[in-house]
Amino acid sequence: MADHFLTKSQVNLAQCLPFASGLALDSHAALKSLLRSRVSESAASLFAEPLVSRGNDIAEPSISWYTDMPGEGRLLSELEEQDRARIDAILSSELRAMRGLLADPEDGALMAAALHLANSPRGDIWVVDGRPVIINWGMLPEGGGLDQESRTAQFGATLGRYLPLSAAPPLNEAERRARIDLVGGAEPKSAAPETPAPQTAPVAPPPAAVIAAAAPVASVAPTVVREQTEPRRGVPIIAWLPLLILLLISAGLLIWLLLPNSRIFPAYDADRAIETEAAAGLARSVNDALRERLADLRDARDGAMCRADGTLVLPDGMTVDGLLPLDPVNPADAPGMAAPASATPILPPDPGRVQVPQSAPTTDGAGDAGETGDVSLLEMIESRTVMVIADGADSLGTGSGFFIAPDLVVTNHHVVESAAEGGLFVTNRALGRLHPAQLVKAAGPFEAVGADFALLRVPGVQSSYFGLLDADSSLKLQSVVAAGYPGDVLETDNAFQSLREGNSGAVPDLTVTDGTINAEQSLTDYTHAVVHSAPISRGNSGGPLIDMCGRVVGVNTFVRQGDLRNLNFALSIRDLVAFLGDTGAAPVVETHACEPRLLRPAAPASEPDDAAATAPAEADAQAAPAEDAAPAAPEAAQGGIPNFGLNSPSGS
């Protein structure tokens, strides 16, 4: 599959020319291989790779076009005249080199079908990285006729300007033989063509006299001048050797895969990507956010001042972690004490210093009656985020999740979809061991339904849980933390090794990363996502994306990898709340903006007065009880916990 999305076309599938048992569009790989072996590597990249969506009751059929060439694509008609002339010359050279393939009894039909274009109003020729790329190939114009006379006129209005032919490329054996035996001198191959007109200019179809002149040639055999064609080039036997070796290796690999117990884990799913023109808008939005972020960092660097007490103050009067400088005359504002902070600091603050209410939120948004103070955001995250294990018939998948109620966990559909009956488990440090889980509801896969959620019930558990944020204002540039159990970290985690060997009390370490929100995107009318810079990878799927007030702002779901950066996607809380609507779950949902509270850095040990001032606050923080989940009865702890006995996890 080509890497670079170019554009998308809305089509009527009746326009698409048939080939073999499907459409000509379905044979792009064969066309590319043909051009690479018979013409040139550059010719092989001339036709864009199609991804055909055949539509449904809601969406019309469409084709997404991809190319191997990096860079931004532009329509040929948008270029300056000088650049357009250069591309026209390349097209003439490349297409004329394909002329000989039209007479080939095996490959001519595919080549001929590819040379028919839809002649769309926007244009069928794009330019990427200084090279032409053809889209809407293997198609007829809307309402165009399939007969040769109609196709000849259509061809003359599209690629006929670069590859002059007396008749449209032959689509059947009769047309091919007529082309071989009856072509007159109307198709000079070696003559240099005039520079074609710009694509936007109307082009007249071939003169009727030229088409009519070809008709009487059949009855005047002595006057026929056959079209010059390239001789069929044979393939030497030695050229088949690499293919033979590859086939033998593939056969051996297939036999190994079919042997019992030789393959433990399923292959990773393909990265979930957005294959619509919304991807272009997403890229622009993310780039705008990054440019804004870069400008803020430059301003901060250029205008920062270091005070006498060593505090670095930025132009906006804040420290790098979003605090106002210490007020020396305010006894309540001292090192080690909590103070209001900015929700959009230059650098994300240490989650160990961010303070949030210790108690679990209740359905009315208030704390429990027994609330005793604040805990760090890191403590909250560790007690409410879980590792999800999906034990299948012959595989072990892992992912992440989080509590939204005392016994309800949210994760991704693709994390749990491979689990066998009774094969779902969750664990974290607060739970202390593996707990069996039951699937309540799931929605997925993402590519089919635009959702990727699953709700699990953990019987016998009463855990503290997260509140959710369905913000009524923009979240851009706000600091966030992503939490989960990425597979590449689990592979070296001793506790996970012990867990796989049957120790249900072994709990792997939670991984947290920080970043900022880059964009809030509508992927479709009913799918919304938060794009952020907190690094995630396989195994983070289903884990929470949390703001500096301890509320979940998204469900981490997939990563889109690029040459220069990765885009991290979390599905929105709006979509999660809609998914939970008929489950009976009643999560706490807030809408107001975050007002973070951050512990000031402790004073240096060499300053005893300041250190003494911080001691009570540190003592209080250490004395604050950790949030625990009430475990199930001891006898339940021993039942249904499998000895996985597997070598490595399959992260989701």
Q: Say what the pLDDT of residue 35 is.
A: 92
**pLDDT at residue 429 is higher than 80:** yes
Q: Say what the pLDDT of residue 365 is.
A: 41
Question: What is each CA distance from 425 to 186, 257, 457, 633, 641, in whole angstroms?
Answer: 74, 28, 10, 16, 8
Secondary element (H or E) of residue 19? strand 18-19
CB neighbour burial string for 280-300, b if at least 16 within 10 angstroms, e if fewer = bebbebbeebeeebeebeeeb
Rounded Cα distance between 46 and 270, Å, is: 26
User: Among 293, 303, 332, which residue's Cα sits nearest to residue 313?
Assistant: 303
Write the pLDDT tens digit of every residue in 612-639.
444 444 444 444 444 444 433 333 333 4
Answer with the residue of higher pLDDT: 133 or 265.
133
User: Among 468, 481, 410, which residue's Cα sits nearest to residue 444?
Assistant: 410
Dihedral of CA atoms 609, 611, 615, 621 in degrees, nearest 10, equals: 140
Q: Where are the alpha helices (DSSP H) in 195-240?
A: 208-214
Q: How far is CA 344 from the centre of its chain?
A: 26
For the chain, the farthest-separated pair of C-alpha atoms sits apart, in whole angstroms, at 113
Q: How far is CA 602 from the centre of its chain?
A: 42
Residues 318 and 339 sit within 8 Å (Cβ to Cβ): no
Confidence bin at 93 (pLDDT 50/70/90): very high
Secondary element (H or E) of residue 614? helix 608-623
Nearest 5°: phi and psi at 511?
A: -105, 130
- Amino acid found at 497: Q
Average pLDDT of span 306-326: 74
Average pLDDT of span 144-169: 89
Rounded Cα distance between 388 and 115, Å, is: 52
The domain ranges of the chain are 4-223, 278-357+376-381+466-599
Average pLDDT of span 206-234: 41
Question: What is each CA distance from 641 to 29, 159, 383, 422, 503, in whole angstroms?
Answer: 48, 66, 21, 10, 9
CB neighbour burial string for 358-393, b if at least 16 within 10 angstroms, e if fewer = bbbbeeeeeeeeeeeebbbbbbbbbbbbbbbbbbee
CB proximity list for 20: less than 8 A, separation 6 or greater: 27
Rounded Cα distance between 446 and 452, Å, is: 5
Average pLDDT of span 75-101: 91
Q: Name the CATH superfamily, with its identifier, for domain 278-357+376-381+466-599.
A: Trypsin-like serine proteases (2.40.10.10)
Confidence bin at 188 (pLDDT 50/70/90): very low
Rounded Cα distance between 67 and 133, Å, is: 8
Average pLDDT of span 284-298: 74
Confidence bin at 238 (pLDDT 50/70/90): confident
Q: Say what the pLDDT of residue 261 is.
A: 59
Q: Which of 62-66, 256-260, 383-387, 608-612 has the highest mean pLDDT?
A: 383-387
Average pLDDT of span 541-546: 95
Confidence bin at 230 (pLDDT 50/70/90): very low
**pLDDT at residue 646 is higher than 50:** no
Task: Give the sign of the dihedral formed by CA 397, CA 446, CA 277, CA 203.
Answer: positive
Q: What does the block give as tokens for 598?
A: 């951050």
User: Among 634, 586, 632, which residue's Cα sits nearest to residue 461?
Assistant: 632
**pLDDT at residue 178 is higher than 60:** yes
Give percent of the chain above pLDDT 70: 76
Confidence bin at 582 (pLDDT 50/70/90): very high
CB neighbour burial string for 119-134, b if at least 16 within 10 angstroms, e if fewer = bbeebbbbbbeebbbb
Residues 418 and 411 sit within 8 Å (Cβ to Cβ): no
- Residue with tokens 């027994």, as numbered in its chain: 370
Q: Say what the pLDDT of residue 364 is.
A: 41
Write the pLDDT tens digit of every residue in 106-130.
888 899 889 989 888 889 999 998 9
The SS3 call for residue 152 is helix
Confidence bin at 226 (pLDDT 50/70/90): very low
The region of weakest confidence among 142-151, 546-555, 628-637 is 628-637
The region of weakest confidence among 50-54, 82-86, 327-331, 572-576 is 327-331
Average pLDDT score over the chain: 78
**pLDDT at residue 213 is higher than 90:** no
**pLDDT at residue 570 is higher than 90:** yes
Backbone Cα Rg of the chain? 32
Average pLDDT of span 262-278: 47
Confidence bin at 500 (pLDDT 50/70/90): confident
Confidence bin at 235 (pLDDT 50/70/90): low
Give percent of the chain above pLDDT 90: 30
Answer with the residue of higher pLDDT: 527 or 410.
410
Confidence bin at 270 (pLDDT 50/70/90): very low
Nearest 5°: phi and psi at 279?
A: -60, -35
DSSP string, 386-420: EEEEEE-SS-EEEEEEEEEETTEEEE-HHHHTTPP
The region of weakest confidence among 38-47, 363-372, 463-472 is 363-372
Q: Say what the pLDDT of residue 565 is.
A: 62
Rounded Cα distance between 32 and 110, Å, is: 11
**pLDDT at residue 187 is higher than 90:** no
Q: What does the block give as tokens for 93?
A: 């050279």
Average pLDDT of span 485-510: 89
Task: Give the sign of the dihedral formed by CA 146, CA 148, CA 153, CA 154.
Answer: positive
Rounded Cα distance between 23 and 136, Å, is: 13
The DSSP call for residue 362 is: -
Q: Say what the pLDDT of residue 556 is.
A: 95
